[in-house]
A and B are shown apart, each in its own frame.
Chain A
Amino acid sequence: MKALYFAWVRERIGKAEEEIAPPEDVKTVDAVMSWLSARGENYAAAFANRKTVRAALDRTHARHDAPIGQAKEIAFFPPMTGG
C-alpha cells in the first residue's frame, strides 16, 4: 500500500510518501504505526506520541483501532489546523 505523510509527520520521517508492505499480522492503523516505528529513529520520532497523530485510509479519516483491510492508501498527519 501507499503511505503518505504530512506536516511534521512528513518532516520527522523525512519523506512525503512511500510504498509499504506491512506483514499479514499488521491489521490496524495502530499496528501500522508500531510496525513503522520499528523501522528507524525517524519513524519512531514521528509516532512517539500517537495521540497527536491522525490517520486516513483511502482519504477518509480513520481511528487508530480501524482495520486497514484492503485499503490502497494510508496517510498519517498531525491534528488539522486549517480554516
Chain B
Amino acid sequence: MPAQVVVRVQKESFDASAEAAALAGERKGIGAIVTFAGLCRDEGGTLEALEIEHFPGMAESEIHRIAREACARWPLEALLVIHRFGMIRPGEPIVLVVTASAHRGEAFAAASFLMDFLKTDAPFWKKQHRADGGEGGWVEAKAKDDAARERWET
C-alpha cells in the first residue's frame, strides 16, 4: 500500500497530537510515529512575531516533491507536513512533520530529511517583527541549513 501523504499550507494553527493521531488512523502496520513541531522563539524577549511569506502553489508543490523523495528513500506508512504562513507569535507552532513507519529508524530519518529539505527548498521567508517596535528585517538563510541538506546527497 502506498504511503498516505498529507501536505497543508495554512494560516491557521494546528494541534500536533490530533494531526498525528488522525494520520495514523486505522493503519495497524505502523510501529513508530515521529512528530516534529517547529515553534516561533521569542529570541530572549526581543521578538514580537515572525511574519511568514510564501509562494502559493509552489510551496505546496515543493513540499509534495520533497515528500515523494522521502517516500522513495524509506518505507513509510504515512507522512504529513503542515507549514503555516502569516503572522506567528512566540510559542506558536510554525511547521509540523509527522512520519509513520513499521520501525523507528525510518520514521526518525525521514522526519529529519523532510525538515532539512523544507528549510532550504520550500519557498517560505521569515520576517522578524521586534518587540521594541524597531525594524527586524528578513531572516537570513543559514549555511548550516545548507550543510544539513547536503548530507543527504549521495
Contacts and interface: CB of A to CB of B under 8 A. Distances in A.
B12 to A, nearest CB: 17
Contacts of A7: 53, 125, 127, 138
Contact of A56 (B58, B95, B120): B58
B58 A78 contact: no
Contacts of A79: 120, 140-141
B146 to A, nearest CB: 8
A30 B62 CA distance: 22
B125 A83 contact: no
Contacts of A83: 38, 83, 94-95, 115, 118-119, 122, 124, 145
A70 interface: no
> How many interface residues does chain B have, given as a range?
20 to 34
Which secondary structure dominates where chain B touches chain A? mixed
A23 B58 CA distance: 26
A82 B123 contact: yes
A81 interface: yes
A81 B121 contact: no
A14 to B, nearest CB: 15
Specify which of B54, B122, B124, B140 lies most central, judged by the most chain A CB atoms within 10 Å of its CB.
B124
Interface string B113-154: 001001111111111000000000011110001000000000
A8 B94 contact: no
A61 B55 CA distance: 12
Interface in A19-58: 56
Contacts of B54: 82
A82 B52 CA distance: 8
Contacts of B57: 59
Interface of A: 4, 6-8, 56, 59-61, 75, 77-83
